[in-house]
Chains A and B, each alone.
Chain A
């Protein structure tokens, strides 16, 4: 379909709502877009679905300061870049600048829209684009001093074979190349906070896998995605450009 716009949205998922699943968040977005009256394009066929593109799934229980969503929406036929409200918002017109505020108010507590950008071409999907994620996490039962030693040991390794179960089969792969950054931040309420950049290709490596390596008896008590990165000309960039419409409150990134 030509003439449709892609609204790329960056949003947070913080606090109690982190215990909802990826599917739950998708349903929350569908209801929210219907309430606000965004003219989302529907798929064709037997059972039309709103055309939404979600990024990499966030594990249930993890927080995020940088989630992404692509919404395929039909812009106003007047060609002024505005959007005409549908449903209960019929007669209303939206400017992209208004969207962060309108959406955040309709979304549940803990989900806030930080930025919206209108993409002119779809390009690769979010899931294809994102190669790496930044994480902050707390491991209970791990002392910060010990954590620093373990981190140094891990970073000094050339390879770090790990086994995991995937669809019933035990697989071994090397975790070491997936870790491009791993630092100890300091003590937390339960143990030690760390930060890491972990690759998302060919598969998404999660902080829980680092717990096995750093403190087999420890427990992951907090995990927060801080960034998602795409790669362009060898450099890391966020999937949203810096001139995206930022929500006023998003100028301070929650970290």
Chain B
């Protein structure tokens, strides 16, 4: 046990949920530090309960610990009560496994899955005793690396990060380790940090922001140019070709205390080509790479036996699209070893009857609620966002679910979408109301919960040029739906704070100058901003004013085809002209097919990197029309028998 543990122990009786800080998970590595090894501290900048289940961190930590030249530990952002205790006691941020001080590591890596947690990165660096500005770090400080989906617009965090790691990390962490290892072996001569960063810039997937100069004209960007020969004009992401080569995590961590997604998680495929235009994940993680079904079965069987979990989640961006998903699910249900007691969680399901059939297989006893995400209220709107769910698909799915005993449906929608009119917004209520009516045929207590989010146009999507609705406009649209649903107690409306959507847009869409706002918010005490109890809209607005940043310019303004976007030099594989064309097609209401089953339209994600789809089934799944525009034909057999499909039969 390291020196820090004995100093931490007395503090833990004074804070909420002390189990956040003790580690001890089943499956935890026993890291053996050595002078010749590159030591990584991988941080999820949120609480332990949110961060522990993060699969990316677990995968990368395992891969690093299997290497001879690396060792990896984990950390999470201490809750404000613990942060205060640490500062008073003069104890730095520490690793969870061996309670080692953060500054004893060579690399501190953050996973940024969302943007509102940016101020937590500064908080965590500060607790670690690492200067928050990259420019102030010297040869003795750890290298600060950031990965995750939010790094596709790295600019708002550019001042604080040494290296962004873009794309799949499985191979990239090894490449970074090798460069850092050489630097360590060289004895880190004085002033060599910039040379190290230049070496890292040569690695595909690494973006070193200090090697780029940005010039501005007022609020606009004129250019983003490399200032070192090693830095490429366009930074390419990394993509692993085949998930079968990466059966991680092999030892999923089982925490001692309760966390979110507290279950076995098995990633069944990565990437999605449904082509939903609002979905950043679906754009930046292409192509589709399915894990072989046999490997999925092995990972489930071994995982359940090892962990003792009673629940397994089959994760992906659209789980019902996995080739042979029914067989995999049936296999778990029928496995005598799990005694039929294992519950199966299928996140991110399509809106169709096939999905309900699948859900019926897994819900053996308790049928409480089912969740669908039609995303928009009218077919016109859904064509624009390319979420090609017909009204009939939704009604068929919902009726099938009600008829099989589910009493409640939860429907996810976005509002503030491009060209959305009030009739599209109100179409959300109409859909929900019709769903309730269908349900009342089977259950007097049938109800629908509508969950409404404000749309934030993200980088590297066809909607990146779209000016986000203001908080006021989003509030007005929510108000329309509140008025419409007020007298119907079968339709429950829940909505996301429109002000949080504005700030989400601000930190997602800003340029390098936004770092000053992030810093000011943090210095004013703004941490854990994605937590409702800590989110402080006024603080963000005041900080923007103080730093001369126009929220209108960053968030709500429509952008031009020829303007330099803050993320122009970052490449997710998607050709700029593909994205622009898809944006024009969207405005014309043209859909785009799912290219895993139809000919390639060359978005760039495969051709740029010499990779391709790995999909076991040559034909799309039957049972609905979503995204394929072709599998509604009558000669496609619906493999799951569901009674009375209503409109879809």
Binding site for B on A (CB under 8 A): 16-17, 19-21, 23-24, 27-28, 30-35, 46-48, 60-61, 86-88, 90, 106, 108-110, 140, 190, 219-221
Is B258 touching A61 in the complex (CB atoms < 8 A)? no
Q: Residue-by-residue, is B287-307 near A (CB-CB < 8 Å gives 1, otherwise 0)? A: 000000000000000001111
- A223 to B449 CA separation, bound complex (whole angstroms): 47
Chain B's closest residue to A140 (CB) is: B10
A31/B309 contact (C-beta < 8 A), A108-B24, A109-B24 known: yes
- A19 to B21 CA separation, bound complex (whole angstroms): 9
Q: Report B340 CB to chain A, min CB distance, Å.
A: 10
Is B308 touching A19 in the complex (CB atoms < 8 A)? no
Given contacts A27-B258, A31-B310, A35-B306, 11 further A-B contacts (CB under 8 A): A16-B22, A16-B24, A31-B307, A31-B308, A34-B309, A48-B365, A60-B19, A88-B304, A88-B337, A109-B24, A219-B13
What total of chain B residues lie within 8 Å of the partner, measured CB to CB?
30
Is A19 touching B366 in the complex (CB atoms < 8 A)? no
Listed A/B pairs (22) with beta-carbon separation below 8 Å: A16-B22, A19-B18, A19-B21, A20-B257, A21-B257, A23-B258, A27-B258, A30-B310, A31-B309, A31-B310, A33-B308, A34-B308, A35-B305, A35-B307, A46-B365, A46-B366, A47-B366, A61-B18, A86-B339, A106-B308, A108-B24, A221-B13
- A47 to B491 CA separation, bound complex (whole angstroms): 26
Is A17 touching B307 in the complex (CB atoms < 8 A)? no
- A87 to B338 CA separation, bound complex (whole angstroms): 5
Among B19, B262, B310, point to the contact of A34 (Cβ < 8 A). Answer: B310
**Residue B84 interfacial (CB < 8 Å):** no
Is A220 touching B13 in the complex (CB atoms < 8 A)? yes
Is B365 touching A47 in the complex (CB atoms < 8 A)? yes
Is B26 touching A108 in the complex (CB atoms < 8 A)? yes
- A88 to B301 CA separation, bound complex (whole angstroms): 9
Closest 5 CB pairs of A and B: A31-B308, A35-B308, A19-B18, A16-B22, A34-B308
Q: Residue-by-residue, is B426-458 near A (CB-CB < 8 Å gives 1, otherwise 0)? A: 000000000000000000000000000000000
Chain B's closest residue to A110 (CB) is: B24
Is B254 touching A19 in the complex (CB atoms < 8 A)? no
Is B12 touching A87 in the complex (CB atoms < 8 A)? no
A16/B23 contact (C-beta < 8 A), A31-B309, A61-B13, A220-B13 known: yes
A19/B22 contact (C-beta < 8 A), A61-B13, A90-B336 known: yes
Is B305 touching A88 in the complex (CB atoms < 8 A)? yes
Is B308 touching A24 in the complex (CB atoms < 8 A)? no
Binding site for A on B (CB under 8 A): 10, 12-13, 17-19, 21-24, 26, 254, 256-258, 262, 304-310, 336-339, 341, 365-366
Q: Report A38 CB to chain B, min CB distance, Å.
A: 11
- A221 to B308 CA separation, bound complex (whole angstroms): 33
Chain A's closest residue to B366 (CB) is: A47
Is A28 touching B305 in the complex (CB atoms < 8 A)? no
Chain A's closest residue to B26 (CB) is: A108
Query: Which A residues lie within 8 Å of B308 (CB)?
Result: 30-35, 106
Query: Which B residues lie within 8 Å of A86 (CB)?
Result: 339
Is B22 touching A17 in the complex (CB atoms < 8 A)? yes
Among A21, A46, A106, point to the contact of B19 (Cβ < 8 A). Answer: A21
Query: Which B residues lie within 8 Å of A190 (CB)?
Result: 10
Is A24 touching B257 in the complex (CB atoms < 8 A)? yes
Query: Which A residues lie within 8 Å of B307 (CB)?
Result: 31, 35
- A90 to B337 CA separation, bound complex (whole angstroms): 7
Is B18 touching A31 in the complex (CB atoms < 8 A)? no
Query: Which A residues lie within 8 Å of B305 (CB)?
Result: 35, 88
A31/B254 contact (C-beta < 8 A), A16-B23, A24-B19 known: yes
Chain B's closest residue to A39 (CB) is: B339
Query: Which A residues lie within 8 Å of B24 (CB)?
Result: 16-17, 108-110
Query: Which B residues lie within 8 Å of A32 (CB)?
Result: 308
- A87 to B306 CA separation, bound complex (whole angstroms): 12
- A254 to B307 CA separation, bound complex (whole angstroms): 28
Is A87 touching B310 in the complex (CB atoms < 8 A)? no
Q: Report A86 CB to chain B, min CB distance, Å.
A: 6
- A16 to B262 CA separation, bound complex (whole angstroms): 21
Q: Report A169 CB to chain B, min CB distance, Å.
A: 23
- A213 to B19 CA separation, bound complex (whole angstroms): 28
Query: Which B residues lie within 8 Å of A109 (CB)?
Result: 24
Q: Report B114 CB to chain A, min CB distance, Å.
A: 27
Is A61 touching B336 in the complex (CB atoms < 8 A)? no
Query: Which A residues lie within 8 Å of B310 (CB)?
Result: 30-31, 34
Query: Which A residues lie within 8 Å of B262 (CB)?
Result: 27
Among A48, A88, A221, point to the contact of B10 (Cβ < 8 A). Answer: A221
Chain A's closest residue to B306 (CB) is: A35
Is B13 touching A24 in the complex (CB atoms < 8 A)? no
Is B336 touching A20 in the complex (CB atoms < 8 A)? no
Query: Which A residues lie within 8 Å of B18 (CB)?
Result: 19, 60-61
Q: Report B24 CB to chain A, min CB distance, Å.
A: 5
Is B337 touching A87 in the complex (CB atoms < 8 A)? yes
Most interface-central of A32, A88, A109 (chain B CB within 10 A)? A88
- A27 to B25 CA separation, bound complex (whole angstroms): 13
Q: Report A31 CB to chain B, min CB distance, Å.
A: 3
- A108 to B21 CA separation, bound complex (whole angstroms): 16
Is B12 touching A24 in the complex (CB atoms < 8 A)? no
Q: Report A83 CB to chain B, min CB distance, Å.
A: 15
Query: Which A residues lie within 8 Å of B254 (CB)?
Result: 31
Q: Report A2 CB to chain B, min CB distance, Å.
A: 22
Is A61 touching B26 in the complex (CB atoms < 8 A)? no
- A34 to B257 CA separation, bound complex (whole angstroms): 17
- A46 to B363 CA separation, bound complex (whole angstroms): 12
- A190 to B305 CA separation, bound complex (whole angstroms): 43
- A21 to B258 CA separation, bound complex (whole angstroms): 9
- A17 to B254 CA separation, bound complex (whole angstroms): 14
Q: Report B76 CB to chain A, min CB distance, Å.
A: 15
- A31 to B307 CA separation, bound complex (whole angstroms): 7
Query: Which A residues lie within 8 Å of B341 (CB)?
Result: 87
- A75 to B262 CA separation, bound complex (whole angstroms): 31
Is A28 touching B256 in the complex (CB atoms < 8 A)? yes
- A61 to B338 CA separation, bound complex (whole angstroms): 34
Q: Report A60 CB to chain B, min CB distance, Å.
A: 7
Chain A's closest residue to B305 (CB) is: A88
- A20 to B12 CA separation, bound complex (whole angstroms): 11
Chain A's closest residue to B309 (CB) is: A31
- A60 to B257 CA separation, bound complex (whole angstroms): 11
Is A20 touching B337 in the complex (CB atoms < 8 A)? no
Query: Which A residues lie within 8 Å of B309 (CB)?
Result: 31, 34
Chain A's closest residue to B12 (CB) is: A19
Is A19 touching B339 in the complex (CB atoms < 8 A)? no
Query: Which A residues lie within 8 Å of B10 (CB)?
Result: 140, 190, 219, 221
Most interface-central of B18, B256, B341, B366 (chain A CB within 10 A)? B256
Q: Report A28 CB to chain B, min CB distance, Å.
A: 7
Is A20 touching B13 in the complex (CB atoms < 8 A)? no
Is A20 touching B338 in the complex (CB atoms < 8 A)? no
- A16 to B9 CA separation, bound complex (whole angstroms): 9
Query: Which A residues lie within 8 Å of B19 (CB)?
Result: 19-21, 24, 60
